[in-house]
Amino acid sequence: MKPSETFNNEDSNSSQNPDFDEVLSTRLSRRHVLRGAAGAAGLGVLSATGLAACATAGGGGAPLSSLGFQPVAKGLADAVVVPPGYRAQVIYALGDPLSASMPAFRNDGSDGDFGNRAGDHSDGVEWFGLGADGKPSRTAVARGLLAMNHEATTDEKLTSFFIHTDGGTASLPRPAAEVDKELMIHGISVVEVQNQGARWAYQPGSAFNRRVTTMSEAEMHGPARGSEHLVTKHSPDGMRVRGTLNNCGTGKTPWGTLVSGEENWFGYFHRDAQDDERRKKDRQVQALNRYGRKAGAPSRHGWESAGSADAYARWNNGALGASAKDDYRNEMNSFGYIVELDPYDKTALLRKRSALGRMGHENATFARAQAGQPVVAYMGDDARGEYIYKFVSKALWDTADANAANRLAVGDKYLDQGTLYVARFKSDGSGEWLPLALNNPVIAGSSYFEFKTEADVAVFTRLAADAVGATKMDRPEWGGVNPKNGEVYFTLTNNSQRNASNVDAANPRAYTDFKAGKEQKGNVNGHIVRLAEARPADTAFRWDIYLFGAEAGADRSSVNLSALTDDNDLSSPDGLVFSPATGVCWIETDDGAYTDQTNCMLLAAVPGRVGDGGKQTLTQGDKRVDTFVGKPQTTATLKRFLVGPKGAEITGICETPDGRALFVNIQHPGENTKMAEVSNPAKYESQWPANAGYGAGRRPRSATIVITREDGGVVGT
Ligand code: FEO
Ligand code: CA
Ligand code: CA
Ligand code: CA
């Protein structure tokens, strides 16, 4: 397992949920079931209508016909490799100043003031255009803001060792000075970038530049706001929250703001071994365990150990005081949300949208907003055996809201009230979205967990999803909506615990692969599932598996089911973003399974549609599993576009509206470096981006690159 995987692999879903659908006996109302069935029956006709609507609504750019570049070979070079005819330029990296008065990043561990510098582990990123007048623009291509997540840090034991001079303190207690840096290096940044002719450059002095960190004041919105679950010493009325943490994937709302998913936040908290006993009848004990915070488990960085000041004490979520108003037993409940930020307004606080549920959020991707219809967002919960969700707004879309001046007020309108659903995949290729709300009798009458208020569902979402019998998936990462036909894609990155006894139609593979002679088991290379709905707000869908990750040489009847070759084989798909300009589906990998052969990569795909392949029966041990496999891939439909530097994951991706500049985040190069070698560049696994001519020092840095075509053309086509 690669170091950054450690925190994605908590096995906290011990629910007895079926991995396939036969067993479930829901008590959903007859009306709900009938509505689902009617939706499925009408699917063909309505899909055709939906397609026509997309085309006339300006589905974005010329239709995609081919991938016009030479595939990049797999490789282990410590470099970003792109096809001939393309340029990749580093423009923004860990530590870069976000104000004109900040000194340049020395990159030797001595730098401070990360509240005014780029954060670490850049992940999801979105483009927000600026006109020449400095006002928001949907069409600007030469000047814009990149709003991006800074998910985590490169760690060994407790310390983020590359940002401390000698690697820092890998034991408890952690020194406050080290923790102060680590608290500020997580979160989100907004940075202005400009096309300066031959080059792009970020603007250190831009008034738009902004950092949001674990300590930034934020607003809780939706059902959890003011609930008992958010009462802390800092917030006796449950109204105030601070910070955002482990921000992973991103999305862009139809009204032009950023949404960001808080993913592996639970690992940053600690409660002592006696905490379950101390809480006794508190139903939160069940929730704490379900969310991966077992009593006595160490926290990722030991931030709680740095002193009694509030900034450190808040990371101890044990019930230590007389009541919730005297301690931070509830602090963990203020993380795990989709958060919304207006990148154009640095005075506006981040808003946590609790109506979209609390989980290990990867990203949120929006269906095309249609006048008079609800706004719909799809989301994955990335941990082994977790679920896929969607949110359907109560308010119906008013096209005037697309260009409103108060963008966060529009967010309040669509994201604070609505219905959250979780997906159940059936073995016949159909599926159902199950509502997580008190008007669902399965939730209201659950004996598994007591749901009394909508805040209970918003905060303990995983338990609600367990209660309705959602399908356990192979680690749902990014979702993306195909702008050409509205189909919804989800990467399922891998699952080492998938085996012959728990395979199902939608997670059908369990096999053995070898890496440097060592066995790896389960769904080693991951897959991508896709869903078709007649309308985004419907409760019925059809699904198939668009793509199976595999090594080119693997058996084509059981593992390499998408017929991948050396030009397009991949492992552990993670980021998945459709280009609004071209319709290209960009697929990024976060892999530890195929890394003996190749570094992580970015591929470009011309996707088909649900049902373009067929039913296939796989044999897993003595078990046979029927699944639905998309059409086999060729180099006309899937090609490798980029291979990253050593130890790096390829994370976020976005582009200018003309598709001529593609921004890609390169996360944690050199993550397999040992802390003991922090002062010995010769021993670093990677020296990127210093070896590409960017910045001081030789410590590897997470960074943003911009990719353009030498002839100025549209990228990927
Ligand atoms: Fe942050 Fe699931 O990747
Ligand atoms: Ca292998
Ligand atoms: Ca990810
Ligand atoms: Ca991942």
Which residue's C-alpha comes closest to atom 1 of ligand 1?
A: 248
Q: How many CB atoms lie within 10 A of CB 683?
A: 11
Examine residue 496 and state whether it is found in any structural domain, yes or no.
Answer: yes
Tokens of residue 199, six digits:
């080059």
> What element of type H or E holds 329?
none
Tokens of residue 280, six digits:
């006794």
Per-residue confidence band for 64, with pLDDT thresholds at 50, 70 and 90? low
Examine residue 716 and state whether it is found in any structural domain, yes or no.
Answer: no
* Among the listed residues 212, 186, 190, 330, the one whose alpha carbon sits nearest the alpha carbon of residue 264: 186
The rounded Å distance from CA 518 to ligand 2 centre is 9
In 3-state terms, what secondary structure has residue 226? coil
* Among the listed residues 246, 90, 203, 235, the one whose alpha carbon sits nearest the alpha carbon of residue 665: 90
Ligand 1 neighbours by CB, cut-off 6 Å: 8, 151, 248, 263, 362, 382, 477, 574
Examine residue 180 and state whether it is found in any structural domain, yes or no.
Answer: yes
The rounded Å distance from CA 583 to ligand 2 centre is 31
In 3-state terms, what secondary structure has residue 300? coil
Q: Judge whether 483 and 368 are in contact, CB under 8 Å.
A: yes
Ligand nearest to the CA of 577: 3
Mean pLDDT of 507-516: 97
Q: How far apart are CA 160 and CA 699, in angstroms?
A: 13
Whether pLDDT at 458 is above 80:
yes
Ligand nearest to the CA of 595: 2
The rounded Å distance from CA 398 to ligand 3 centre is 32
Beta-carbon-side half-sphere exposure of residue 76 (alpha carbons within 13 Å)? 6
679: region left, alpha or beta (phi > 0 left; psi from -120 to 50 alpha): alpha
Per-residue confidence band for 280, with pLDDT thresholds at 50, 70 and 90? confident
Phi and psi, residue 671, nearest 5°: -70, -15
Per-residue confidence band for 565, with pLDDT thresholds at 50, 70 and 90? very high
Query: Would you state the pLDDT for residue 8?
Result: 65
Query: Would you state the pLDDT for residue 14?
Result: 83
Q: How far apart are CA 6 and CA 178, in angstroms?
A: 22
Query: Would you state the pLDDT for residue 21?
Result: 39
Examine residue 647 and state whether it is found in any structural domain, yes or no.
Answer: yes
* Among the listed residues 336, 356, 233, the one whose alpha carbon sits nearest the alpha carbon of residue 287: 336
The rounded Å distance from CA 494 to ligand 2 centre is 14
Count of the separate structural domains present in the chain: 1
| Ligand 1 atom nearest 493 alpha carbon | 2
The rounded Å distance from CA 282 to ligand 1 centre is 30
Ligand nearest to the CA of 494: 4
Examine residue 1 and state whether it is found in any structural domain, yes or no.
Answer: no
Give the structural domain span for 212.
6-709
Q: Judge whether 487 and 531 are in contact, CB under 8 Å.
A: yes
Examine residue 624 and state whether it is found in any structural domain, yes or no.
Answer: yes
Query: Where do we find the tokens 């059902």?
Result: 223
Tokens of residue 564, six digits:
């991948």
Beta strand spans in 506-609 (E): 511-515, 518-522, 527-532, 540-548, 573-578, 585-589, 601-605
Q: How far apart are CA 674 and CA 690, in angstroms?
A: 19
Mean pLDDT of 468-480: 98
Q: How far apart are CA 38 and CA 105, in angstroms?
A: 60
| Average pLDDT across the chain, whole number | 93
Mean pLDDT of 187-206: 97
Whether pLDDT at 7 is above 80:
no
Helices then strands, counting H and E runs in the chain, come out as 10, 32
Query: Would you state the pLDDT for residue 10?
Result: 62
Angle at 83 between CA 77 and CA 84, to 5 degrees: 110
Whether pLDDT at 402 is above 80:
yes
Identify residues whose C-beta is under 5 A from ligand 3, the ion: 477, 574
Examine residue 150 and state whether it is found in any structural domain, yes or no.
Answer: yes
| Ligand 1 atom nearest 249 alpha carbon | 1
Mean pLDDT of 307-319: 97
> What element of type H or E holds 484?
none
Identify residues whose C-beta is under 5 A from ligand 2, the ion: 513, 515
Ligand nearest to the CA of 524: 2
Examine residue 714 and state whether it is found in any structural domain, yes or no.
Answer: no
The rounded Å distance from CA 77 to ligand 2 centre is 18
Per-residue confidence band for 9, with pLDDT thresholds at 50, 70 and 90? low
